[in-house]
Amino acid sequence: MTEHLRASDDEHIPVMPIEVLDLLQCKPGGIYVDATVGLGGHSLSILERIQPGGMLVGIDRDKESLEKAQVRLKPFGDSVRLFHENFKNLPLILNNLAIKPVDGILLDLGVSSYQLLSQERGFSFQSDALLDMRMDRTQQWNAADLVNNLPETELAGIIYRYGEERLSRRIAGAIVHERRKAPITRCAQLASIIARIFKVRGHQSIHPATRTFQALRIAVNEELEGLEDFLGEAFSFIKPGGRIAVIAFHSLEDRIVKRAFRKLAGRCVCDAPPDLCRCPRQSLGRILTPRPMTPKTEELAANPRARSARLRSLERI
């Protein structure tokens, strides 16, 4: 990893930057999309590779992150176009720019360390910030709205589905019990409600609120909704021989990426026996990563936060 890809501790170190550049085969004159610009770490290394003549379209739904990226990427002038948008609007953005097709698309999913560690953003059970968790702060609802208003069964469903939390019903029950007394507005308040349930159950290797906070974050930002369809749509904007690369940070996300890529590669995605399978078998792409790539030991030593990253890539044929 080159030195300029490092950021200070509360910022974000791009994950598997070399692998991403190699998979995307970034070349001078190419047109690339970084659909999750964040602080611009990956964008910066892509831009360095695609000069002269290349162009990068960058998207992020987090205005603060995008503003930081804008400063960092300024030396590249008109070669970079940044958009404060949900990446699900990528087709609209590319159509408006009259750009089609592109050489490659990168998605580095989830939250950045910058977001997670920004105390006032309310993503972390370790902070006493307002329970917010919105990536896009112009969004109407936040985590406190879900926690204080959702029916108990719905809350339990979210915690179970997006947090894979076995004690989802007990946690939802405790939340509803507490919110009858007073609204739950702060991260530390919610973390301590959850911790009380686990205390009687003995030692845990991770903080007991980890899975519930992940679930709420995914729900607030609707991170998994429509992701599979979006990957299919985004892929249609890539030219033959071009590639998409996606970094996922938890198994739910990675499963969606794997399934979307299999579908696009014309593989079966159902559980039916072969003679009953009705999966469409039209092959639009070639899977480049039969198994997801993971960070090397050297990278993990420098950036332990990369440990759960899974990188998959598909080439348009």
Ligand X SMILES: C[S@@+](CC[C@H](N)C(=O)[O-])C[C@H]1O[C@@H](n2cnc3c(N)ncnc32)[C@H](O)[C@@H]1O
Q: How far apart are CA 219 and CA 133, in angstroms?
A: 10
Q: Which stretch binds ligand X (CB under 6 A): 35-43, 179-187, 255-263, 296-304?
A: 35-43
Among 82, 86, 191, 234, binds ligand X (CB under 6 A): 86
Give the nearer residue to ligand X in terms of CB position, either 139 or 192: 139
Under the binding rule (CB under 6 A), the answer on residue 135 touching ligand X is yes
Question: Is residue 286 within 8 Å of residue 255, measured between CB atoms?
Answer: no
Q: How far apart are CA 73 and CA 13, in angstroms?
A: 16
DSSP 300-315: HHH-GGGTT-EEEEEE
Under the binding rule (CB under 6 A), the answer on residue 235 touching ligand X is no
For 197, the 3-state DSSP assignment is helix
Total residues at interface with ligand X (CB under 6 A)? 21
Q: How far apart are CA 139 and CA 86, in angstroms?
A: 11
Rounded to 10 deg, the angle between the 251-264 and 227-235 helix axes is: 40
Closest CB 144 distance from ligand X, rounded Å: 19
H or E stretch including 212?
Answer: helix 210-220
Under the binding rule (CB under 6 A), the answer on residue 61 touching ligand X is yes
Interface residues for ligand X in 147-166 (CB under 6 A)? none
Q: How far apart are CA 166 and CA 171, in angstroms?
A: 10
Closest CB 68 distance from ligand X, rounded Å: 9
Interface residues for ligand X in 190-209 (CB under 6 A)? none
Q: How far apart are CA 308 and CA 20, in angstroms?
A: 16
Identity of residue 26: C
Rounded to 5°, the CA angle 154-155-159 comes to 115
Looking at the chain, which runs of residues are DSSP E strands?
Answer: 31-34, 55-60, 80-84, 102-108, 238-248, 285-287, 310-316
Closest CB 121 distance from ligand X, rounded Å: 10
Closest CB 238 distance from ligand X, rounded Å: 18
Under the binding rule (CB under 6 A), the answer on residue 59 touching ligand X is yes
Under the binding rule (CB under 6 A), the answer on residue 110 touching ligand X is yes
Under the binding rule (CB under 6 A), the answer on residue 187 touching ligand X is no
Q: Which stretch binds ligand X (CB under 6 A): 108-116, 151-159, 168-176, 281-289?
A: 108-116
Under the binding rule (CB under 6 A), the answer on residue 39 touching ligand X is yes
Give the nearer residue to ligand X in terms of CB position, either 65 or 124: 65
Among 19, 103, 108, 165, binds ligand X (CB under 6 A): 108
Under the binding rule (CB under 6 A), the answer on residue 310 touching ligand X is no
Closest CB 249 distance from ligand X, rounded Å: 7
Q: Which residue ranges make up the site for ligand X (CB under 6 A)?
A: 12, 14, 36, 38-42, 59-62, 65, 86-88, 108, 110-112, 135
